[in-house]
Amino acid sequence: MDDIYVKLISNIKDSSLNDLETIIKAYELANKLHEGQFRQSGEPYINHPLEVAYILSEMNADSDTICAALLHDVLEDSDISKEELSKEFNETVAELIDGVTKISKLNFADNKEANMANTRKIITSITKDVRIIIIKLADRLHNMRTMEHKEEFKQKENSLETMEIFVPLAYYIGAYRIKTELEDLSLKYLKPDMYKKLEKKKIIIEKESEKCLTEMLETIGILLESHNIPYEIKVRAKNIYGIYKRVTSGDKLYDIHDLLSLKIMVENISQCYQALGLIHSKYRPINDKFKDYICNHKTNMYKSLHTTVFGSDEHLVQTQIRTFKMDKVASFGLTAYWDLKNNNAREEMQKDLTEKFQFFESLSEINIMCADNQEFVRQVKTELFADRIYIYTPKGEIIELPKGATPIDLAYKIHTDIGNTMIGVLVNNENVPVDYKLQNKDIVRIITDELSYGPREEWVPLVVTSTAKRRIKEFRNTFNEVSG
């Protein structure tokens, strides 16, 4: 405890966003309220909130978030009330703590109903304050790091929940480092033999690739220096779960082109493209492995250039080229705003989440449509947390949709008026029916006519998104009222 407390205080002192006195006060209260409580490992319970707070301090989190992390279990594990916490600290801290606190099981008929309600509370909290999700992710991360003290059934149950709920949430807010660690920790308990096997093979490949990577690091460094481009280069290895997904889908380990990557950080976008040209002048690229995520960023705001080249000894090496700012967002997602936006971080997080992240509107729509908690969780898992496809509009915009979506889903995702006036669709310049299942990377043009009859009732079973279902039903209800 002493070590982690010292490290936490050290991180806080280095941050301009933190009120050290208030955070120490939060720690002292948490320590008092958790006195006599122990984890299954036998260690004092206060170690857990301390570790959660430390994880968040590594992200340069603000004082309210760290205070809430230190106190995140006190409403559930002690007699203190939300109102008392608000008086002791402020309303924001109390709301954050309440946001991460489970709803009492006494309010429900059975455990399943309680679990569904709490899952919904976790997921929808992002619409109120994204920091609630960030605290929950840090909480889950530490719990997964210390899972060895639980029985096997609980290890697998928690790992499955992590994969189904927390990994997608980490992905959607762009928190790549948390996402990949949660994936690996979950795989470790869900498929321990496979995890150990892949871990050993990964170490062997990394050792075999050491000479190639050292040569590339040196050569690329000389190229960038000769053109006066300030840079930093890091080696990135694909996480074990990422390898597992590729292997189980039929790929051979040595053919995974992004198993090893070089992350090249430069100061501005023009230098990204200049660095790309320099790398291609020295190392032969694989044309169909080039991705420009700067021009067309991912739906969670990830930006980078990806190119896979032949290194020495015929090793395939992916290089990721981005600015220093892009690298922070790529690693930490919205949590990088604490470092990039300083005192406006929380407002900018919520603003960008609402305006720029495609999943936010879909989540809000599902929340409106589903009165039943079980129905809500099922729809979120189907529509948002399952396999995704990425569709291009004729203007090159990327639209994210669930696998199995049709052109009708796409039309309503773009705009309600597009869906209501759709009369046809072109996919990759060919006419297709409205019930066509869209495929990843399809280029889709929706044909509209303002004098169209409008969406048909028979369209409802053809769509998978809540937005499309709701808009079609609204249009038909209005139409029937007017015509009746």
- 221-224, Cβ contacts within 8 angstroms, sequence gap of 24 or more: 223/278, 223/279, 223/281, 223/282, 224/264, 224/266, 224/275, 224/278
- Give CA–CA dist 221/183, Å, rounded: 32
How are the residues of the chain apportioned to helix, strand and coil, as percentages rounded to the nearest 5?
A: 60, 10, 25
Indicate which residue of 35, 76, 210, 232 is catalytic: 76
Strand, coil or helix: 460:
helix
314 within 8 A of 337, measured Cβ to Cβ: no
- What DSSP state is assigned to residue 40? T
CB burial of residue 273 (10 Å; 0-12, 13-18, 19+): middle
For the chain, give the number of residues: 484
Catalytic residue among 19, 58, 77, 352: 77
265's enclosing H/E stretch is strand 260-266
Contact (CB, 8 A) for 441 and 457: no
Please confirm, yes or no, whether 77 is among the known catalytic residues: yes
Give yes or no for a contact between 438 and 427, defined as CB atoms under 8 angstroms apart. yes
Token couple for 311: 């290194």
**Residue pair 262/213 in contact by the 8 Å Cβ criterion:** yes
Query: Which residues does the annotation mark as catalytic?
Result: 76-77
